[in-house]
A and B are shown apart, each in its own frame.
Chain A
Amino acid sequence: MHTKTLPDLVRGLRSREFSSLELTQSFLNRIRQHRHLNAYITVTEEDALLNAKAADVRLAEGKAELLTGIPIAHKDIFCTLDVKTTCGSKMLDNFTAPYNATVVEKFNQAGAVMLGKLNMDEFAMGSSNETSYYGAVKNPWNTQAVPGGSSGGSAAAVAARLAACATGTDTGGSIRQPAALCGITGLKPTYGRVSRYGMIAYASSLDQGGPMAHSAEDAAILLQTMAGFDEKDSTSVNCPVPDYSAGLNKSIAGLKIGLPKEFFSDGLNSHIAATLEAAINEYRKLGAEIKEISMPNLKLAIPAYYVIAPAECSANLSRFDGVRFGYRCENPADLTDLYTRTRGEGFGKEVKRRILMGTYALSAGYYEAYYIKAQKIRRLISDDFKNALSEVDVIMGPVTPATAFGIGEKMGDPIEMYLSDIYTIAINLAGVPALSIPAGFIAEMPVGLQIIGNYFAEDMLLNIAHQYQQVTDWHQQTPKGFE
């Protein structure tokens, strides 16, 4: 049951081939059996079984919604009512959310059964899932390797079939990079497409939730559930949600694909380049036209991001003060000691590094040189995307500079870790949507292809990804030991 696509699972449940209880139990068994991957922080077994039974009643009554009875797991950044919500941090180890994130609420309304909460880099800050207070997640393709981050638990859980599908969030690549490194399909929607309400904030002008699944077809169903305007999110965009599944089978003959020469320069690993070339060739066969384009400001995406994201993080994370919720230090001497020690003891090293960076960039005397400068560069990068997407329909490129690196390999050098996000970060600065799909393997480790589209062109991205998945089977591969 665990290798079926979402449409097959939905059909199987409706035709009573299997029950939601059986399906849920089967995933819970797999979670237990593969606990060593450390993909989950919390498994909500009791609630999952109760909800599965309730789903079976609704299915029997013919009252099923889109996802009734489908087992899902959420990144532990989404608040879940009365369920521990940690954001991968000691700061929230004792935190039980008093409300549901809109995304969680929408999946509940659609009838999905939550299996639990997935591991992640602390406060979504990391590219390897190693900054989690709950320990590193292992990549199911090679348990000595990282799954990527920050949605590493989500990617590992989907790849290892420990959930039928999952949610993730992406601030600088946190859906696409782990999706690429674990061989699954991950979509970062347009900024404002999916509600951020109840999604614990890292960098508010960049954060966006999205689906992590086996295929574009599955991702379309998940996005259908997640997307939409939300009064409770002040940056939610009120724009109609198309039927994402309806357009999947459209022909892509005549599609114009742009390849930014900056992505395919000498710096690109030759094995990744060869894998991408083969994928792009498949698109040629499907009738697409390939065109080289230039996006000259992409090279400044990393420096601009590492000013803007830490600046927003330092402001957002000021709410963790030991007064209203979360961790509080023992026996504070005075109020300053309460704040300082609570935050010093509650946050891990990478989070502290970014709070310090952001505080510095926003401090008097440096604000113009760093923060305003970075925002100007953000505009130029965004203009690069607008110009490119007026010439071509979509942009394609790598997701990562290499396949998954070893656990511990980059933890000593934060700058090197930051540079591994070189192909994903600019997309968040511009706010456009992008997805990663499996495009091959190098030495038995998955490689992703990134497809970037115009604002609110998620339907087009899913169509393009689905057409590729009709003529290739990379997305159907399962890591050894998880069949």
Chain B
Amino acid sequence: MSLTADDVNKIAHLARLGIDKRDVESYAKDLSGMLDLMTRMSDLNTDNVEPMAHPMGQAQRLRADVITEQNNREKFMAIAPQVEAGLYLVPKVIE
């Protein structure tokens, strides 16, 4: 299985990940190498095998619906790139 430069650009767009034009070919080569490694998985029959997502197979723990967190708004906003009046600022989305 091999990926083209075009494939890499599509995947990078899905991940919102900027890739230097000069590096696209080398990513295509590396990812194709990884996919070759993964084709070995098809050597093994896994029909009727339950997929395993988590080592302990435990259910998500539930807790009472009560407030446990303190309000850290100022602390969290202090480390943000751009804030104003308690809001995170991003470039204009809607004209």
- Which of A's residues lie within 8 Å of B, judged by CB? 95-96, 98-99, 191-192, 205, 231, 234-235, 237, 297, 299-300, 302-304, 306-307, 314, 318, 321-328, 332-341, 343-345, 347, 349, 352-353, 355-357, 359-360, 363, 370, 372-380, 382, 414-415, 418, 429-432
A306 with B34, Cβ < 8 A, contacts A234-B60, A339-B16, A363-B11 known: yes
Q: Please tell me if B38 contacts chain A, counting CB pairs below 8 Å.
A: yes
Are the C-beta atoms of B37 and A356 separated by less than 8 Å? no
Are the C-beta atoms of A357 and B34 separated by less than 8 Å? yes
Closest to A370 in B: B38
Are the C-beta atoms of A303 and B37 separated by less than 8 Å? yes
Closest to B16 in A: A339
Are the C-beta atoms of B17 and A340 separated by less than 8 Å? yes
Q: Please tell me if B19 contacts chain A, counting CB pairs below 8 Å.
A: yes
A352 with B27, Cβ < 8 A, contacts A307-B38, A344-B20 known: yes
Complexed CA–CA distance, A432 and B55 (Å): 8
Of A328, A363, A374, A376, the contact of B14 (CB 8 Å cutoff):
A363
Complexed CA–CA distance, A432 and B46 (Å): 22
**Prevailing SS type, chain B contact patch:** loop
- Across the interface, which residues of A come within 8 angstroms of B20, CB to CB? 344
Complexed CA–CA distance, A429 and B31 (Å): 22
Are the C-beta atoms of B80 and A325 separated by less than 8 Å? yes
Of A323, A349, A375, the contact of B51 (CB 8 Å cutoff):
A375
Closest to B18 in A: A344
Give the size range of B's interface with the partner: 35 or more
Residues in B40-95 with C-beta less than 8 Å from chain A: 40-44, 46, 49-56, 58, 60-61, 63, 72, 75-76, 78-82, 88, 90-93
B63 to chain A, nearest CB (A): 7
13 contacts between A and B (CB under 8 A): A98-B75, A235-B56, A322-B81, A323-B81, A355-B15, A356-B12, A356-B15, A373-B41, A376-B50, A376-B51, A377-B44, A429-B55, A431-B55
